Amino acid sequence: MAFQMIFVEDGMSVRRVARFRLGIAFLAANLTLCAGVIPVLNPSFELGAGGTPLTNSLYSYDTTTQPYGWTITQGNLEVIQTGYAGNWVVQAGSYSVDMNGVGAGNTILTQTISGFTPGATCMLTFGLAANPSWCNSPSSACSLQVSIGGVTQDYANIWQSVMVFADQTFLFTPSASSTMLSFTDTTNGGGNGGPAIDNIRIADAPSGVSEPASTLLLLCGLGTLTALAKKRRQFV
Ligand SMILES: [Ca+2]
C-alpha cells in the first residue's frame, strides 16, 4: 500500500497504479516456492506391496501386489535388483524399475503426490536410464513420457549399451495441493525391456531456474515495474 500511495502522490494515474500492482502480483506469484521437499512414497522402489522389502518382481496393472505407494494403471513393469543379468544398475538403493515388463509396452506408473502449495513452482527430478538388453542402439531406442502438475515431458531416443542413470529435471506449478505423477513407457513395439527409472524427487527449484511460462510472466512483471520506475523518475 505504501508504494501505491507514493506513486499516487507523484502524480501516477490510477491505471499506472493498477499496472504496478499487476507487476507486483506477477513477481509474488513467481517467487513462491514449493514448500521445501515434497514427500514421494517409496521414491527409490525399494519396497513392495504393503511396504515389505522387494525381490526381483514383475508387477502388473491387474495384480493386487504393486510397488508400495505406486499404482500401475496399464501394462506391467519389473522392479529389478542391481547386478541382475550382469548389466542392471540402480541410481539409489538396490532396485530400479524397468518400465516394460513383458511385451505389453505402454505401461503407466502413477502416484498421487500431496503437500503442494497451489501455484508454487516445484521441480521434479528422477534418474533415467535404458535397459541395455533391449534399448541398446538408435534403432531400438526407447521413450518415456512423464507428467505432473499439468506439465508433460517426452524423453525420446533413450538407449544405452552400458546402463547408467542420469538425472532429468523439469519444473511444474501445481494448481492444487495434490497432483498426479505419472511415468508412461511410450516405446513402440513392445519387447521385454524399456526405459528405466529410479530415485524420484520433488523439491523447490534451485534459485535461478525458471520454467518458460513463469519466466515470461516474471519478465512481464519486471517490465511493468521498470516502465513505472522510469515514469516515476519523470515525476520526481
Ligand atoms: Ca532404487
C-alpha 16 to ligand 1 mean position (Å): 54
Backbone angles phi, psi at 61, to 5 degrees: -60, -25
Number of compact structural domains in the chain:
2
Q: How far is the CA of 184 from the centre of ligand 1 (A)?
A: 18
Q: Are residues 29 and 6 in the same domain?
A: yes
* 5-27 pLDDT per residue, tens: 223 333 344 454 444 344 434 44
Checking if the pLDDT of 206 tops 90, the result is no
Q: Say how many Å lie between the CA of residue 98 and the centre of ligand 1.
A: 11
CA distance 195 to 155: 10
CA of 182 to the centre of ligand 1 (A): 17
- pLDDT-derived band at 63, boundaries 50, 70, 90: low
**C-beta separation of 101 from 154 below 8 A:** no
Residues 98 and 136 in one domain: yes
Residue 144, domain CATH: 2.60.120.260
Q: How many angstroms does the Cα of residue 222 sit away from the middle of ligand 1?
A: 42
Same domain as 117, residue 133:
yes
> Does one domain contain both 61 and 126?
yes
pLDDT over threshold 80, residue 222: no
Could you tell me if 17 and 113 lie in one domain? Answer: no
Residue 42 lies in a domain: no
From ligand 1's centre to the CA of 137, what distance in Å?
A: 25
pLDDT of residue 50: 84
Contacts of 116 (CB under 8 A, 6+ apart): 34, 35, 38, 122, 149, 174, 176, 177, 178, 179
**Dist. CA 93 → ligand 1 center (Å):** 4
**Per-residue pLDDT at 234 exceeds 60:** no
> What is the span of the domain harbouring residue 220?
2-33+211-235
Tell me if 180 is assigned to some domain: yes
Q: Would 40 be classed as within a structural domain?
A: no
Residue-wise pLDDT for 13-62, tens only, equals 445 444 434 443 444 445 578 889 999 999 999 998 888 887 767 777 65
**Domain-embedded: residue 92:** yes
User: Confidence class of residue 218 from pLDDT cuts 50, 70 and 90?
Assistant: very low
Q: Please, which residues bridge with residue 71 across strands?
A: 110
